[in-house]
Structure 1
Amino acid sequence: MTPPDSKPIALITGAASGLGLALAQRLSADYSLVLVDINAAALEQHFSDGTAVALHALDLSDRAAVATWLNHQASELPRLDLLINNAGITHRSLATATQLDVIERVLAVDYLAPVQFTQGLLPLLQKSSGKIVNMGSMAGWMPVLGRAGYCAAKSALTQYFETLRAEIADTPVSILMVYPSFVDTPIEHHALDGQGLVAKHPRSMVGNMRSTEWMAERIERAIYSNRQRLFPDRFTYFASLLYRITPSLYLRLMRRRLRVELEHKH
């Protein structure tokens, strides 16, 4: 279904749950929504009332399927004003116990998919003077025990889009990088272990656990105020500064606070 021209159009990945769902609900009043998630049933469950104009089930780790879908959207959508690269997965397993295919899947969803979506939809965004929103992580700025692949993916995401920001500075497209810390979303409930199964041990964390609604409200404000970067949690922001200033101290403190991760070899 082609969204009407009366509203700007927002495309959100990972929209069936967690932060993506909260963002879709907050933005539905002002945008026509094109929502993407691997879970078709959950999309239908939450948006069967017609809140969203278009629902699409898509595995973001399947580059060929994504390319086909993007080519179709590039020709079908009349415009695109907001692209929110929200979908993500993670793992909880020590670096040496994490199989390469687990790392590849995390990289595919958390880094390559946002790049592929951006490259495929950039012409539409340029025509509409649109905005790209990416869900980074403070884990992309500093090491976190048990999440080497996730840290690598989020680091790559940050470097790619900060470079892109500089390269397209003379165009009407803007970029918002969001750096949440610990948010209560299904990404952690479905975290992979080193073999690609669901991790059995509980999540380790520092700082405060934030709700998706709390996070979505701050992202919405950042979108409307045309922010370039959003650091909603001061604790993790200062932790990232500590890592840059004195990395050895940060690593000692991080090992102490997240030591439980060292007890799980898978």
Structure 2
Amino acid sequence: MSCPSTDPSTSAGRPVAVVTGAAGSIGSRLVERFGEAGYDVVGLDLAGAVEAVGDAAARARMLACDITDVASVRQATDAVLARHGRIDVLVNNAGISAIGAFTDHDVAVHRRVMEVDYLAVVACTQAMLPALREAHGRVVLIGSVTGFAPVLGRPAYVAAKHAATGLFEALRPELAPDVGVTVVHPTFVTGGMGEAADRAAGTARATTGAEITPDDVARAVVAGVTRGRDRVLVGRTARLAWVISRHAPGLYVRMMKRRLR
């Protein structure tokens, strides 16, 4: 399938990338790497997170936005278009997890994870889709290994990432050829991420394989967008999980349970 070009060298003027969760560890690296690649970058994050950014130049490239609030998303979209006149790339990066067993978290926790990791993705993508279509741009989901395979110790997060991944797989043929769709599946990232609830006593964040850095993810995202990739697997563990979970799902589950327990 042919893909819209989002290579700055072939676009009229400087292309514009919007990154959600831009004050976080991966988000801040995405803002920097897209800037280095020739994009004007606008980062979206909660007002408190934006205010806490220590670097004045980085803070100037950010807008306060609660991506779980549709009105806030629409206001931010209007602000980006008023400032830059276009949106070429949307990176749905913001996310939270919930570490623990299924019975450790009530419905409210599951709802909160779904609001940030799935429904906010819907809100941002719908709001910016007309501009992306006009630019023949690309929409990106920062997914996870949990978006295509079961992973112990974070069922709410697995559910939300499966939902978001399924959405983007459905959008790819629907939006083609006007808008390209890239799903990025990193393995475990150093430092982890924000969580929707306190962990139960004695519950730790389990990982398997070598962790990757936020900058590893950012570099892979920019490369995937530039090359028009449909899917990007970041890290050896992600690549192994992709192959094994598809060709030997029983073996994958046994290996995952042994390593994460």
What TM-score, normalized to structure 2? 0.85
CA shift, 1:52, in A, is: 6.4
Q: Does the 8 A contact of 2:73 with 2:127 survive in 1?
A: no
Matched to 1:234, the amino acid is R
- Tell whether 2:186 aligns with 1:180: yes
Change in Cα spacing, 1:48 to 1:75, as seen in structure 2 (3 Å) is closer
Q: What is the percent sequence identity of the aligned residues?
A: 35
Distance 1:170 1:191 in 2: 36
Distance 1:73 1:89 in 2: 24
Distance 2:50 2:77 in 1: 22
Q: Does the 8 A contact of 1:32 with 1:53 survive in 2?
A: no
Gaps in structure 1 of 5+ consecutive residues: 260-266
* Bigger mean CA deviation after superposition, 53-62 or 144-153: 53-62
CA shift, 1:43, in A, is: 5.4
CA shift, 1:74, in A, is: 5.5
Deviations 1:136-172 (A, max 9, x none): 111111111111111111111111111111012132x
| 1:181-220 paired onto structure 2 within 5 Å | 181-187=187-193, 190-192=194-196, 196-197=197-198, 201-220=203-222
Q: Does the 8 A contact of 1:34 with 1:52 survive in 2?
A: no
Query: Which residue does the alignment assign to 1:229?
Result: 231
Matched to 1:154, the amino acid is K
Q: Does the 8 A contact of 2:81 with 2:87 survive in 1?
A: no
The one of 37, 46, 52 aligned to 2:45: 37
CA shift, 1:234, in A, is: 3.0
Matched to 1:235, the amino acid is T
Change in Cα spacing, 1:55 to 1:102, as seen in structure 2 (3 Å) is same
CA shift, 1:117, in A, is: 0.8
SS at structure 2 position matched to 1:167: helix
**Number of residue pairs aligned between Structure 1 and Structure 2:** 248
Change in Cα spacing, 1:32 to 1:224, as seen in structure 2 (3 Å) is same
SS at structure 2 position matched to 1:210: coil
* Bigger mean CA deviation after superposition, 97-106 or 65-74: 65-74
Query: Which residue does the alignment assign to 2:108?
Result: 101
Gaps in structure 2 of 5+ consecutive residues: 1-11
CA shift, 1:251, in A, is: 2.3
Query: Which residue does the alignment assign to 1:142?
Result: 149
Query: Which residue does the alignment assign to 1:263?
Result: none
Change in Cα spacing, 1:236 to 1:27, as seen in structure 2 (3 Å) is closer
Aligned-residue CA RMSD (Å): 2.4
| 1:1-266 paired onto structure 2 within 5 Å | 6-29=13-36, 30-38=38-46, 40-42=48-50, 45-49=53-57, 51=58, 54-70=61-77, 73=80, 77-171=84-178, 173-187=179-193, 190-192=194-196, 196-197=197-198, 201-259=203-261
Distance 1:213 1:71 in 2: 29
